[in-house]
Amino acid sequence: MSATTEIQTEKLTFRKFKDGEVHSYNRLQDKIFQAGWSYKCPTYIQSTPPCQGSCPSGEDIRGYLNIVRGIEKPPVGADGKPVMPWQEYAWRRLTEANPLPAVMGRVCPAPCETGCNRNQVEDHVGINSVEHYLGEYAIKNNLQFNKPEKQTGKKVAVIGGGPAGLSVAYQLALKGHSVTIFDDHDKLGGMMRYGIPGYRTPRDVLDAEIQRILNLGVTAKLNCKIGVDITMEQIRKDFDAVFLGLGAQGGRALPVEGDASASNVVTATAFLKAFNDGRLQTVGQRVVVVGGGDTSMDVATVARRLGHIDSAKPTDWEGAIAGQLAQDVADISTRKGADVVLTSVFPIDKMMASKGELEHAQAEGIEIMGGWMPVAVVKGADGRATALRVCQCEAKMAGGKLEIKKIEGSEKDLPADLIVSAIGQMVDFTGLDEFNNGKGGVSADKNYQVQGKPGVFAGGDVLRPHLLTTAIGHGAIAADTIDQYLSGLEVGRRPKIDVHYFDLMRKYAEKGLPLDEIKEPLRGTCDSKGAVHNFDNRADRYVIAHDELFLGHFPYTPRNKRHITHLDKQSALGNFEERLEALDDKQVVAEAKRCMSCGLCFECDNCVVYCPQTAVYRVKKTEATTGRYVATDYDKCIGCHICHDVCPTGYIQMGLGE
């Protein structure tokens, strides 16, 4: 076993240009003089950074990173001291969008990091690691959400206690509505509990974050299946609105020729649920997993850890997966590692699984076969599967559909005691057939209203199986829609960029700087206190790209990486300990300082220092706040654009002309 930091898969570079590229040099004076003729002066434009635009749950990532780094500070009380530690203030900003940061900080594949503009300098900001840290801090310090001051008297039924259901319940409870979650399991969590192994989402962490939501007054009715234990008709009668967050916990069977049914051919969801329930404690010697996504990696690594027992009978683990029995088995030290093979129709470098999980699986001795498709299940005389027949293939996405070309003559059999299908999930519509759109899901509009079903809303995998963080985002948006519906308001259009973002007006209120009432007619004045001078918030419609930033401001700064315990083929056996450790206080602050604060001022003073006319100036401390650090004296400004050119964050744009 070895212990290192997060895996680095690409060579980092801070160089702006590549060898062989030719770039001409132009005199800066010419640019300045030409800019002066444009009659454009600086305006301060708040934009959405690509990390937030890439985050399915819409977290205010830039906001909480600026709090962690110390740019934005917690509000102060009457005694002049901060009303809370910066960690709590950052956590509260984060959880405005996502109530489960300690879980998501561990398992989210972090599309925000893929979109991070810092990738143009050397390496993305470790957003996921900061989220992990803040989630851990909140649990250790028993932070709780603030309950609403008033209750509306409206009642909402949430069907399904997974990430979508928990998210919508959380947001609705904050709005003062009474929420009841119905779930057919004995614990809440959905795929976070029954689909992801505990060494990736520690159960005490998951329980703590779920309990914090319940502490808002949310009621949970467990082991209660709609359509069996209670009818949908009764739900409609007892509640003012319904949210469908069923998830997709039914697995898809193997798409092979002939009959694939056998006691030892199972779906990934059945396999993982049996393991997470504690019923599955051993597997056969040879396991074949078909998939290529993160779920298939979970299955493969669990199977590798469980291994097999010489004296165990096939019916032991087959029955456990089927949910028929849960007996103790021999001590883990008597096990031998299972031989696990994972096949995917995509080449290894094109698989949907995150690179980190793929590399962990390979390090633990799991054989990955990219570019192979299942053809048939080979059975013995007793009807049990003995092998999976596969053949090489070429797969590609075309028009949103998967096209697979079979390479004839390449078939071979992979011997197997257990075959697991991890190729997708299905929704169980038992008792809820009225919502089935005929395609195995639920149809909803952009506000997550179910078509043709007034008062019914949906989110998460019932719409389209995707990431856990996507389901959280669905829940937040659906909660806004439900709130409007319960208030008797017409449901409005969602913004083009639907995320939580920094609110300058909130900072004004925190500092006691209320704006005056705007009285018409009022055009083009800098003297009125009815608006923030030369500022515009375009975060709801504009994502700022890296070419709008002054990247030369940022030196090469290595990422602060979390400590990861790597397992090999032997040390993985029976090891169900968490592999990922959170950053410490100093590391997380240093990592947050790597954030380039794209689209929002981070108080670097470049514009003030480089302005040749001293037209850009710092706002008085008594009037300044985050996002309002500098302003412009237009009597002095000549429109030279230098402030725009040296603004690292792209917050200064040129306007007010033409």
SS3 42: strand
What phi and psi values does residue 268 have, to the nearest 5 degrees? -65, -40
Domain with CATH 3.50.50.60 in the chain: 155-248+427-486, 251-425
What tokens appear for 581 in the block? 């450790």
Angle at which helix 294-306 crosses helix 268-276, to 10 degrees, equals 50
**Residue keyed to tokens 């929002």:** 600
Which of 312-326, 432-446, 466-480 is the most confident on average? 466-480
203/533: higher pLDDT: 203
Cis omega (within 30 of 0) for bond into 558: no
Segment among 86-90, 358-362, 629-633 with least mean pLDDT: 358-362
Q: Looking at residue 279, what is its pLDDT?
A: 67
The yes-or-no verdict on residue 518 having pLDDT over 80 is no
Average pLDDT score over residue span 107-124:
91
Q: Is pLDDT at 553 greater than 90 in this prediction?
A: yes
Residue 136's φ and ψ, nearest 5 degrees, are -65, -40
Taking the C-alpha atoms of residue 296 and residue 289, their distance in angstroms, rounded to an integer, is 7
Query: 320 falls in which pLDDT band (50, 70, 90)?
Result: very low
Cα 263 from Cα 228, distance rounded (Å): 27
Backbone angles phi, psi at 594, to 5 degrees: -75, -15
How far is residue 131's CA from residue 410's CA, in Å, rounded to a whole number? 46
pLDDT, greater one: 256 or 39:
256
CATH number of 251-425: 3.50.50.60
What CA–CA distance (Å, rounded) separates 480 from 492? 10
| Pairwise CA distance, residues 609 & 477, whole Å | 43
Note the CATH number of domain 155-248+427-486. 3.50.50.60
Is there a contact between 73 and 82 (Cβ–Cβ < 8 Å)?
Answer: yes
Structure confidence at residue 641 (pLDDT): 87
Which residues contact residue 146 at a Cβ distance below 8 angstroms, ignoring those fewer than 6 apart? none
Is residue 478 over pLDDT 60? yes
User: Cα separations (Å) of 21 from 16, 126, 156?
Assistant: 10, 31, 60
Q: CA distances (Å), 130 to each of 119, 169, 554, 581, 582, in order? A: 17, 25, 20, 12, 8
pLDDT single digits (tens) 337-371? 678 898 999 998 888 887 888 888 888 888 999 99
**Length of the chain, in residues:** 658
The span from the CA of 103 to the CA of 131, in Å, is 9
Name the amino acid, one letter, at 555.
Answer: P
User: Which stretch of DSSP H or E encloses residue 36?
Assistant: helix 28-36
Q: Where are the beta strands (DSSP E) in 104-228?
A: 155-159, 178-182, 219-221
* Secondary structure (DSSP) of 377-418: EEE-TTS-EEEEEEEEEEEEEETTEEEEEE-TT--EEEE-SE
- With cut-offs at 50, 70 and 90, classify the pLDDT of residue 31: low
Strands 339-344 and 367-370: parallel
| CA pair distance 22, 228, nearest whole angstrom | 70
Mean pLDDT (the chain) is 85
First to last CA, the chain: 65
Averaged over 387-410, what is the pLDDT? 88
**If you average pLDDT over residues 534-555, what whole number do you get?**
92
